[in-house]
Structure 1
Amino acid sequence: MFPAPGPDRRFTGPATGDERRLLAAFLADQRTTLELKCAGVEGELSRRSVEPSTLSLLGLVRHLADVERRWFRVVLAGQDVKPLFSSEADPDGGFDEAAAGPEAADEAWQAWRAEVAFAERFVAEAPDLDVEGDDAWRGRVCLRWVLVHMVEEYARHNGHADLLRERIDGAVGI
């Protein structure tokens, strides 16, 4: 149930180097953790935690696709795009509407991967971590803050994913 002794394949980023490299690596490690927690239980991704919660692994993937989209495309890149799975009318749509089935899972993973790819390009091409954008919730934010926030966002949700995965198949420590 626990990973084999030795290096954890999630944490491959550098432990030295400049700030951008370190923050991007920490975020990449958290993204990899989400993928690992969802691996091998594809048919159960939409399984809910406990009533009345709508929390599921699939819901987490959908939610995090929207979070990536919001911070990198909307706030920092200034794109006028809508969320993929939620809305003003249903801010929890990523969770609430996470339906069972391979098509729903494929759609969520494709969206998440596209948003991650955009974010990775944005971070790599930004002139520095002081690039700023406007957010209705926080006001003015910089890329540095968004990267730290994203690590926190994934870490929190990966904790949820731990519990969801354990409920699905008893696996812990993934």
Structure 2
Amino acid sequence: MSTTSPQRRAAMFVGPDDDPRLGAPSTGGERGMLVGFLRAQRSTLVLKCAGLDAGLSRRSVGPSTLSLLGLVRHLADVERRWFRQVLAGQDAPPRFSSSAEPDGDFDGAVSDPVIVAEAWEAWRAEAAFADAFVTDAPHLDLVGEDSWRGTVSLRWVLIHMVEEYARHNGHADLLRERIDGAVGV
């Protein structure tokens, strides 16, 4: 008789002692919960990309340019847009895409150590800016103006960011499984 049992596809990607996502609060105030959910989603992206190096740029399936590295670059630009441009009112153009290259975040995601390092550095910087902005914000009803949505609150942006990461982490699940067979949530 086997001493191991089959695992579900939805098993944890890492063990509970190594999972940085388990520290999010499940009680308490709204700001703490929203920040906790966003941090957990960011941590999921990091876990899905861990240990891949050159594999980060592997495309899902042609003709798509979707890759884990592309997701990192895309999410750096998304964080930058919502927190720096919309809420903080900064003149902060996207790092990886432009009007001339609207899909530059994905198209430019190539297997080059400099490109990979630049993507992670940008993503970490934008997440750190967002975290500091949220911490310093007087309340969740703080607003900014967006050309796409109009007036948006910090609360809306945080909810949107959780949704944005959750959607793309679903892509990351499939990309990671295609790269090396690793599955789990």
Aligned length: 174
Query: Are 1:118 and 2:129 matched, yes or no?
Result: yes
- 104, 114, 117: which is aligned to 1:106? 117
Change (3 A) 1:21 1:40: same
Q: Is the 8 A contact 2:57 2:70 kept in 1?
A: yes
Report the Cα offset of residue 11 of structure 1: 2.7
Aligned to 2:56: 45
User: Are the equivalent residues in 1 in contact too, given 2:87–2:143 (CA < 8 A)?
Assistant: yes
User: Which residue of the partner structure matches residue 130 of structure 1?
Assistant: 141
1:40-93 Cα distance to aligned partner (Å, 9 max, x none): 111210010100000000000000000000000000000011100001222211
Kindly indicate whether residue 43 of structure 2 is the aligned counterpart of residue 32 of structure 1: yes
SS of the counterpart of 1:140? strand
**TM-score, normalised relative to structure 1:** 0.96
Q: Identity over aligned residues, as a percent?
A: 68
Q: The residue matched to 2:152 in structure 1 has which SS? A: strand
Separation in structure 2 between the aligned mates of residue 71 and residue 6 of structure 1, nearest angstrom: 32
Q: Which runs of 5+ in 1 are unaligned?
A: none
What is the distance in 2 between the residues matched to 1:128 and 1:6? 33
Q: Does 1:20 align with 2:31?
A: yes
Q: After the TM superposition, list the runs of 4 or more consecutive aligned residues in structure 1 that deviate by more than 6 angstroms.
A: none
Q: Give the counterpart letter for 2:162 in structure 1.
A: V
1:78 aligns with 2:89: yes
Match of 2:155 among 144, 150, 163: 144
84-93 or 146-155, larger mean C-alpha shift? 84-93
Comparing 71-80 with 35-44, which one deviates more in the overlay?
A: 35-44
- TM-score normalized with structure 2 length: 0.90
Equivalent residues of 2:16, 2:22 under 8 A apart: no
Structure 2 counterpart SS, 1:133: strand
Please tell me the root mean square deviation across aligned C-alpha atoms, in Å. 1.4
1:127-151 C-alpha deviation (Å, 9 max, x unpaired): 0000100001100000000000000
- The amino acid across from 1:120 in the alignment is D
Aligned-partner SS, 2:135 = helix
Say if 1:145 and 1:103 are closer, same or farther in 2 by CA, change over 3 A: same
Moved more, 111-120 or 41-50: 41-50
Indicate the residue corresponding to 2:101 in structure 1: 90
